[in-house]
């Protein structure tokens, strides 16, 4: 599990990702799919610091957020006093009532590092959506990501939030890990008067996926794909898949 979402890192994440991610666009993207499938209720998994929650709430939609990290949830709750947020693990959760749509956003699938994690997650999603319900999730495309990090030893992202300049330097190790798992080291700096000051040094293990293996995981977990979208999002190429329960 990443340390990126704990303690002071949650606030740093929140500040930097306001620059990286266009949350209005992100909301419109997911909401269009949700609406096209007549979904009235939505659970967002990996709801993070509640930036999408804010948009769902502003549009009076029936939204619940779920996240593993208490620190991320604390920021999300402060941002969205009217929203319901649940602390939970996507691999094993039970809602009181099934929902019409579950979205897993912001490449939170990267933290499902074993095949068991994926199977457990898809089984939980299956149990928590209605018969006509849908799931929508994104993941980093291994076929484009792995050549990219092989060619770029250090990947730098810059962000500006509330008058503060940030830099993130990422280094990805591909060696010796199964399942296209990667060791990600990210160093976070603030830039004050041209000086770089290290504010956090984060290590996490993440996984990237090929489209074919994700299709197979869905098949094995009784989902039928409705739509696959090749999507350029912040920093890395991703796929988004929308799927529904296979008819019995």
Ligand X SMILES: C[S@@+](CC[C@H](N)C(=O)[O-])C[C@H]1O[C@@H](n2cnc3c(N)ncnc32)[C@H](O)[C@@H]1O
CB atoms under 10 Å from CB of 43, counted, come to 28
Which residue of 9, 16, 91, 184 would you call a contact of ligand X, by CB under 6 A?
91
Smallest distance, ligand X to C-beta of residue 79, A: 12
- Report if residue 5 touches ligand X, rule: CB under 6 A: yes
Q: Which is nearer to ligand X, 41 or 109 (CB)?
A: 109
Residue with tokens 């996926």: 209
- Report if residue 108 touches ligand X, rule: CB under 6 A: yes
Window 171-200: residues binding ligand X (CB under 6 A): none
- Report if residue 90 touches ligand X, rule: CB under 6 A: yes
Smallest distance, ligand X to C-beta of residue 194, A: 29
What separation in angstroms does the CA of 121 have from each of 128, 145, 221, 247?
11, 23, 10, 20
What separation in angstroms does the CA of 151 have from each of 68, 115, 145, 198, 229?
33, 28, 10, 25, 25
CA-based end-to-end distance of the chain: 35
Q: Which is nearer to ligand X, 120 or 213 (CB)?
A: 120
Alpha-carbon distance 46 to 105, whole Å?
6
Size of the site for ligand X (CB under 6 A): 19
Q: Which is nearer to ligand X, 22 or 59 (CB)?
A: 22
Residue with tokens 């419109």: 28
Smallest distance, ligand X to C-beta of residue 173, A: 19
Q: What is the DSSP track for 99-122?
A: EEEEEE-TTGGGG--SHHHHHHHH
Window 32-51: residues binding ligand X (CB under 6 A): 45-46, 48, 51
Is-contact 186 170, C-beta < 8 A?
Answer: yes
Which residue of 111, 172, 184, 223 would you call a contact of ligand X, by CB under 6 A?
111
Smallest distance, ligand X to C-beta of residue 247, A: 28
Smallest distance, ligand X to C-beta of residue 87, A: 9
Kindly tell me the burial class for residue 82, based on how many C-beta atoms sit within 10 Å of its own C-beta (0-12, 13-18, 19 or more). Answer: exposed
Which residue of 67, 138, 141, 202 would you call a contact of ligand X, by CB under 6 A?
67
Size of the chain in residues:
248
**Binding interface with ligand X (CB under 6 A):** 5, 17, 21, 45-46, 48, 51, 67-69, 72, 89-91, 105-108, 111
């Amino acid at each position: 599990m990443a340390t990126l979402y704990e303690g002071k890192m949650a606030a740093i994440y929140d500040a930097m990702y306001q620059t990286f991610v266009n949350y209005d666009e992100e909301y419109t993207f997911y909401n269009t799919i949700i609406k096209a499938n007549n979904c009235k209720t939505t659970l967002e998994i990996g709801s993070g610091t509640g930036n999408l929650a804010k948009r769902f709430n502003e549009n009076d939609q029936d939204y619940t957020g779920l996240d593993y990290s208490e620190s991320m949830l604390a920021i999300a709750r402060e941002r969205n006093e009217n929203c319901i947020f649940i602390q939970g693990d996507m691999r094993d959760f039970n809602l009181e009532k099934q929902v019409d749509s579950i979205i897993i956003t912001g490449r939170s699938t990267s933290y499902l590092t074993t095949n068991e994690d994926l199977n457990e997650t898809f089984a939980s999603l299956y149990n928590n959506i209605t018969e006509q319900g849908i799931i929508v999730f994104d993941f980093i495309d291994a076929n484009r990501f792995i050549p990219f990090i092989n060619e770029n030893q250090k990947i730098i992202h810059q962000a500006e939030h509330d008058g503060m300049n940030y830099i993130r330097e990422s280094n990805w190790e591909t060696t010796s890990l199964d399942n296209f798992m990667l060791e990600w080291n990210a160093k976070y700096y603030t830039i004050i008067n041209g000086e770089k000051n290290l504010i956090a040094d984060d290590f996490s293990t993440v996984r990237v996926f090929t489209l074919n293996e994700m299709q197979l995981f869905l098949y094995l977990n009784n989902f039928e794909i409705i739509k696959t979208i090749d999507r350029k999002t912040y920093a890395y190429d991703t796929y988004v898949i929308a799927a529904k329960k296979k008819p019995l």
